Structure 1
Amino acid sequence: MEMGHMPMPDDTKNMTMKMKMHMSFYWGKDAIVLFSGWPNQSLGMYILAIFFVFFLAMAAEVLSNQPVLRRGMNPVTGGLTQAAIYAFRISFLYLVMLAVMSFNLGIFIAAVAGHTLGFFIAKSRALAAAREEHGYSDDLTRKP
């Protein structure tokens, strides 16, 4: 036996063999996204994971850019509503972050695309609401 090398128990050896962590970006369906064994090297489940991350990122952006408070709203109700939306938004953001930490390029691209589309949706809604509030029509002129 070599000096400094200790034999590993079978349980530790099996665990080490099962966990394959990438430390740089890679392509492929052999990712572990959020849960052990998912997508389990299945192309269908990998595509589902990509869509799941995409929609999580998109929902997080939409939730972060939506006004929740209305005039005349009860402060307690408004505060609870904002706190609930914040909890969902932060949960979605943490799940997206953990998914991106799989270092899978498909998952990374899905997260960036989801954030981008969510930002676009939220900002286009905000611009439409601002136009309506200020009385602008589609051709950027004031309504008579």
Structure 2
Amino acid sequence: MASRHHTVRPVTTEAWNTTGLHVHRKRIAHMTFFWGHNTQVLFPGWPGSSTGMYVLALVFVFSLAVIVEWLSHYNIVKPGASRVAAGLFKTGLHGVRVGLAYMVVLAVMSFNGGIFIAAVVGHAVGYLLFGSRVVFNKSGRSDSDLLPPK
């Protein structure tokens, strides 16, 4: 009976060194979730092998996810503002929100279990704070009032 082993496939990256010569480097690309602090998130060499930098990466991804939820649920345009100016501002804000959301997705694509959990918990906390109306209930209504009548 053949046993199946999870393998990590090396990925060849091509680059030019400072002398103009073409070099090939091999790096490890994980194709399944893994646990550990030695990973690469968003930028080459970051967070590296330092545990402190890995914790900083977790906090960074968590914060990005919370900010994405805040931008998704916060209405910053005041009533009575110019429709054109409000539309342009909301369009720009939407672009920023989508860009940050894609950064969270790219971080999760590192396949690191801790980064994945930080992103999910960040989105959940952001939704709790800004989307669920439990913490900041501006309308004075409960969530049960928001449900359609039976």
State the TM-score, normalized to the length of structure 1.
0.77
The alpha-carbon deviation at position 126 of structure 1 amounts to 8.5
Match 1:64 to one of 72, 79, 85:
72
The alpha-carbon deviation at position 84 of structure 1 amounts to 1.9
Q: Is the 8 A contact 2:129 2:136 kept in 1?
A: no
The match for 2:127 is 119
| Matching residue's letter, 2:66 | M
| Matching residue's letter, 2:137 | A
| Matching residue's letter, 1:96 | V
- Root-mean-square deviation (CA), in Å? 2.1
The match for 1:33 is 41
The match for 1:46 is 54
The match for 1:6 is none
Highest Rg: 1 or 2? Answer: 1
The alpha-carbon deviation at position 79 of structure 1 amounts to 1.0
User: Aligned partners of 1:113, 1:45: CA distance in 2, in Å?
Assistant: 19
Unaligned runs of 5+ in 2: 1-21, 146-150
Q: Which has the higher contact order (CA 8 A, sep 6+)?
A: 1
Q: Is the 8 A contact 1:68 1:78 kept in 2?
A: no
Indicate the SS of the match to 1:11. Answer: strand
User: Aligned partners of 2:135, 2:47: CA distance in 1, in Å?
Assistant: 36
Q: Does residue 128 of structure 2 align to residue 128 of structure 1?
A: no
The alpha-carbon deviation at position 73 of structure 1 amounts to 0.8
User: Aligned partners of 1:97, 1:57: CA distance in 2, in Å?
Assistant: 10
Indicate the SS of the match to 2:43. Answer: coil
User: Aligned partners of 1:71, 1:97: CA distance in 2, in Å?
Assistant: 33
User: Aligned partners of 1:87, 1:20: CA distance in 2, in Å?
Assistant: 32
State the TM-score, normalized to the length of structure 2.
0.74
Q: Does residue 31 of structure 2 align to residue 23 of structure 1?
A: yes
Superimposed CA distance per residue, residues 4-61 of structure 1 (whole angstroms, 9 cap, x where no aligned partner): xxxxxx922xx11xx2110000100111000010011111110000000000001001
Q: How many residues align?
A: 121
User: Aligned partners of 2:58, 2:111: CA distance in 1, in Å?
Assistant: 13
User: Aligned partners of 1:35, 1:69: CA distance in 2, in Å?
Assistant: 34
User: Aligned partners of 2:53, 2:88: CA distance in 1, in Å?
Assistant: 36
User: Aligned partners of 1:125, 1:73: CA distance in 2, in Å?
Assistant: 28
User: Aligned partners of 2:136, 2:110: CA distance in 1, in Å?
Assistant: 36
